[in-house]
Amino acid sequence: MKLSIISFVAFLLITAMVGTLQSASYSGDAQHESDAVSVAIIFLELIDDEQYRSSWDLTAPIFRNEVSRSNWVDMLMTVRPSLGEVVAREVKAVDIPTSRQGVPDGEYGTITFNTSYSNMAEAVETVAMVRIGMEWLVAGYFIQ
């Protein structure tokens, strides 16, 4: 049930940011994609290491406006330990669309990971990203 709550909140954030994005993938700049993936991995590793407060520091204003640092920490402390240790994680897909509809100007993307935890053999993690200035930040997080 508690995993459902954090998943629902994260889903709402993702939907608000990238739910209406068109599906065309950005393929012109490998470094651009690599930078977004790197931030997503750092974000996930902070969560893996129970550095929940620090993971919130990598989030975008749209995320912070919806979820306070203390609520984020509380949600993760409730849910994350039940998944156990990360056994494996690999990038499944990177989607940085060239066009978007219904969202503010900016660059957005989603990075999907196939993840295996000691207490959840098959999970899909999705990290929604937004680029603000020269920096990629997390706009949402969802575990299925």
Entry pTM: 0.79
Residue found by looking up tokens 């098959």 in the block: 122
Question: How far apart are the C-alpha atoms of 48 and 136, rounded to whole Å?
Answer: 20
Q: Which residues pair with 111 in a beta bridge?
A: 94, 127
- Which tens digit of pLDDT belongs to each residue from 21-44? 333 333 446 777 899 999 999 999
Length of the chain: 144
Domains of the chain by start residue, with CATH: 2-143 (3.10.450.100)
- Which tens digit of pLDDT belongs to each residue from 97-110? 755 677 666 788 99
Residue 12 is predicted with a pLDDT of: 41
**pLDDT averaged over the chain?**
82
3-state helix, strand, coil in the chain (%, to 5): 45, 35, 25
More confident residue, 69 or 102: 69
* Nearest one of 59, 52, 98 to 77, comparing CA atoms: 52
DSSP string over 71-106: HHHHHHHHHHHHH-SEEEEEEEEEE-BS-BSSS-SS
